[in-house]
Each structure stands twice: as C-alpha cells, then as structure tokens.
Chains A and B, each alone.
Chain A
Amino acid sequence: MREELLALLEKNSRMGLNEIAVLLGTNEESILKEIEILEKEGVICGYNTLIDWEKTSIEKVTALIEVRVTPQRGQGFDNIAERIYNYPEVKSVYLISGGFDLLVILEEKSLREISNFVSDKLAPLDTILSTATHFILKKYKDYGIILTKKHEDEREIITP
C-alpha cells in the first residue's frame, strides 16, 4: 500500500483521506496512520503546490547554475553545499556526476538579482572554482506535468 499511497500523494497531496481510502480499498484510519509514519520517517518531507508562474503577473526567473568546487578534506562537498543551500532563494542543490559538481537551482525576481547572487555570494566562496549560469526560457514540463498544452480526450464518445 505504501508505494501506491505515495504515488497518489505525489500527484495530488490535497486528496482527502476518505478518497484515498476508497481508491486503495482500505479505511481512513490506516491511511492516516501510514501518512503519519511516512512524515515521521521523513519519507514525506513536505507538500508543495505546482504553480505555472508564467500565467500570473508575478515575475520570476529561474536559473540552473553549474558549480565546480574543490572538495574539502573530511567534508567532501557537504560543507560547501550547506553554505549554498542556506540561502532562501536557492530552491535546490544537487551533487551531480560528470563535468561539474553541484547543480544549484535559483529562483529570483529578475536577471539582475540572479547575476548579483552569482557574482556577490556564490562565486566568491573559497572552494568554488567556477560557475556557469543557465536561464530557463520556457518550461514545457515540470514535475511530470506537461505545462504547454491541455490534454484533450479525442476518443469517440461511445465505442464497443
């Protein structure tokens, strides 16, 4: 049940306990209990809303920043990652295999703010060797949801 429950919540965290219970063929109490356990274990870390900001009047700019760093003795990348992820404007930080080390996703109101962040805060950090900033121009799909077009049911209304 756990996997199916997580899959449902990942798609729609607002689904009611009652509805989840019906869909999974169990009762509300056991769903509630399982969710509490999942939250306690940190399997469920939060409940977000997927927003297409482009459809609002609110300006947002998202950048992906590739960061190359010198790992520190005894700390690896953890220390530098922490220094970066503590900035609230940083949405995500990943350790990446391949040509660079950390991928930082940054969300700001304007290009200037992003460039300020990179030049004032990120680049000067001691262990950082280089950064490469990529701006997101258009989101086609985010978190498994296609944002660019609506899916329409093109089936015949009635088929055998």
Chain B
Amino acid sequence: MTKELSEKIINIKPSGIRKFFDLVSEMKDVISLGVGEPDFDTPWHIRDEGIYSLEKGKTFYTSNSGLKELRQEIVNYIKRTQNIEYNPLKEVIVTVGGSEAIDIGLRALINDGEEVIIPQPSYVSYEPCAILANAKPVIINLKSEDDFRLKPKDLINSITPKTKVLILPYPNNPTGAIMEKEDLEAIRKIIIDNDLYVMSDEIYSELSYKGKHISIASLEGMKERTILINGFSKSYAMTGWRLGYALAPEHIIKQMTKIHQFAIMCAPTTSQYAAIEALKNGDDDVSSMRQAYNQRRRFLLNEFKEMGLECFEPFGAFYVFPCIKEFGLSSEEFAKKLLQEEKVAAIPGSAFGNSGEGYLRISYAYSLKNLKEAMERLRRFVDKLRCK
C-alpha cells in the first residue's frame, strides 16, 4: 500500500509517558513512583459481586447507556456527595473509563475549528482527544505560584469568539492541585458570560484532603452547561475494570450516547454489576484508602522539606509535584538520570504539558515501605547533584 494514513492521527504526538516507559521497561530492580493507579486491590466485596454476576450468567450487553440500577446508584451518589439532581434515565451514561467520556463528550460538543481550553499540566489525553474531535486546543499554562489552580485572569485571556469548551481537570493529575469553592465561583461568571461548556473531569474527586471535593456543576447556572465526568478507577481502585460515567443535560447525553452506541455498544457488563456494589457499600473502603493516601502525602511532603526540595502542598489525587529547577536540568534529563543512577522511576512534568517543565510527578499510590526506599534514593541523588 502506498496511500498515506490519516494525517491528523500521524501528527498527534505519542504520550511522553510512553517514551519513558520504554526506557524503564529495559531496567531491572527499578523502584517506581510512576503509576497513575491505586496500589490497593479492588475491595473484595466489589470483586465478589463481579464474580457472582458471572456465575449467574450475566454476560450479555447492557443497554447502551448502562444498567438502569447502576445509573440510579450513580445519580444517588452525586446527589449525596454534591447535592445535584440528575435524571437517571436521560442524564447519565456509563462509559469505558473516564477516558471514553472525555472522548465522546468532546466529539459531541465540537464543530470543526472550535476551541477547547485545556489548563496544563494535566492528564495526557485532553489535547489529543480535542484534536481528534477537530477542535483547536488552547492551552493555559498553570503556575506553581497559583498552586496550579485555574485563575480568572488566565481564563479570560484565553477566551476567543471561537471558544466552546473549558476542560476543568481537578483534583489534578499530575500536580495534585484542587479547586476550592471560591476558586470555582471566581471563574463561574466568566464561563456563563461567554456561554462556554465545561468538561469537569472529577475522576479523583474522592481523593481530596482539604474538605470535601466540590463539583462546578453544583454552582448556580452551571449544571446545564457541564459534562461531569467521574468513574470507579481511582476511588474504588478499579482501574482494570474500565468503568466511568458522564452526567450532563439530556441533549448532550443523547449525542454522546450515539457515539458510544456505535463505537463501544456498552461498558463491560461484569464491571457494571461490580460498580453497583461499589456505590452501594463502598463508602468505608473509599475513606480508609483516602486516609492511607493522606498519610503518604504528608510523609512525602515532609521528606521534600527535609531534602530542601521545593514543593507546593497538593490537596488532591495521589501525586506530588516537586520543583527541580534548581538543578539546571530539564525534567526529562532529571528523570532519566534519576532512573539510571538510582533506579527510581518518576515521570517528568513535561509529559503533562510545557508548563510541567521543571517538575517531577511523583505518585504515592505505593506502600509506605516502597516510598521510604524511594525517598532514600532520591535524597542521595539530590545530594549528589548539589555537590557537583
């Protein structure tokens, strides 16, 4: 064949994380701080429901938008945590992870050439998904002096007549930043005045260490313009089950469901049965995992303080994002060197956007024992660099 493949796809850069992965996978005895998924097993009662559903032969497609009982539980969950009411029949869709919801949400909203505002550093798939939807990504470079929160000034400056969607990725991967109620209030009016849609990716909502997470959809005038994305991966340690969901006004869900129906059909049935159990009886699991993450978060911050490594205090997700600018290395060079010399794998901040340059994403989805060993190695590495 000589005919060229899709130019649009060819021009999308592969994830910077992938590149680093290839490097790591060739090495032995590496201590990793590089994962974006919980270290806990899915709680047994949730797994058991999945197994039980298989035993009962529940192995068929579900309806396109997901099991009715699951959609009802999702709606109940959002009501009890955010006090927002959604119609389980018309305003929810169960997706293959939060990732699918991002993809089909953007595709449902965008006409060619419209702009999507993406604050960075952030999860690697917003930009490519926007491009796949024929949107023009407009990047906001978040700053560490703002604790990587989205500020009204930055938002205003990036709005043009073509702006259609704002992606709001909080609690944030990779920085661990959160948006508190007053931060959300501060951008609310701008969003409404400019008639923007918001795609609020709240996959880390349960991992918030400074009061309860607040969804922007709970603010006045916001529900009708927000696609709220969440899922089971992070809160219930269910990454491999591939299950997420989106909540949005009926007319948006209707269009998203069309894409989902033709591309995916339905989310995995076994996972959906397990997820019902998670939402019904999983609150205690979530809070004990949150407690463990919070302890590790404090441990790492204390370690950085002792090492003299600059780091703002993150209040969400399971990442810390220390600054490594003092060493005069790019974050990729730093991460590579750290891997080669001390066999610690952490992800260069630049993998999450240009504004992540000079930072390192360190995940604390690891046991304390593992983190201690890694911090010992990091300390040795940092000392060595400073001596030079």
Interface of A with B (CB < 8 Å)?
A: 4, 7-8, 19, 22-25, 153, 155-160
Contact = CB atoms under 8 A, between A and B. Distances in A.
A159 B123 CA distance: 11
A64 B296 CA distance: 39
**7 closest pairs, A vs B, by CB?**
A158-B34, A23-B295, A158-B21, A157-B32, A22-B302, A159-B36, A159-B35
Contact of A23 (B30, B39, B124, B298): B298
A2 to B, nearest CB: 13
Contacts of B187: none
Contacts of A155: 35, 37, 39
Contacts of B291: 4, 7
B24 interface: yes
A22 B299 contact: yes
A156 B35 contact: yes
Given A25-B298, A155-B37, 16 more contacts: A4-B291, A23-B298, A24-B295, A155-B35, A157-B21, A157-B30, A157-B34, A157-B345, A158-B17, A158-B32, A158-B34, A158-B345, A158-B347, A159-B36, A159-B37, A160-B173
Contacts of B37: 155, 159
Interface of B: 15, 17, 20-21, 24-25, 30, 32, 34-37, 39, 123-125, 173, 291, 295-296, 298-299, 302, 345, 347, 368
Given A4-B291, A23-B295, A153-B39, A159 B34 contact: yes
11 contacts: A7-B291, A8-B295, A22-B298, A25-B298, A153-B39, A156-B21, A158-B17, A158-B24, A158-B347, A159-B17, A159-B34
Given A4-B291, A23-B295, A24-B295, A157 B25 contact: yes
A160 B36 contact: yes
Nearest to B34: A158
A25 B25 CA distance: 36
B298 A24 contact: yes
Most buried by B among A25, A155, A158: A158
Nearest to B17: A160
Contacts of B368: 23
Contacts of B32: 157-158
B15 A23 contact: no
Most buried by B among A4, A156, A157, A160: A160
Contacts of B20: 158
Most buried by A among B20, B35, B37: B35
A23 to B, nearest CB: 4
Contacts of B123: 160
B299 A160 contact: no
B128 to A, nearest CB: 11
Contacts of A157: 21, 24-25, 30, 32, 34-35, 345
Nearest to A15: B368
Nearest to B30: A157
Nearest to B346: A158
A153 B21 CA distance: 17
Nearest to B291: A4
B125 A160 contact: yes
Contacts of A159: 17, 34-37
A24 B295 CA distance: 6
A158 to B, nearest CB: 4
A58 B270 CA distance: 47
B39 A160 contact: no
A7 to B, nearest CB: 8
B35 A158 contact: yes
A156 B35 CA distance: 7
A14 to B, nearest CB: 13
Most buried by A among B17, B123, B124, B295: B295
Contacts of A19: 299
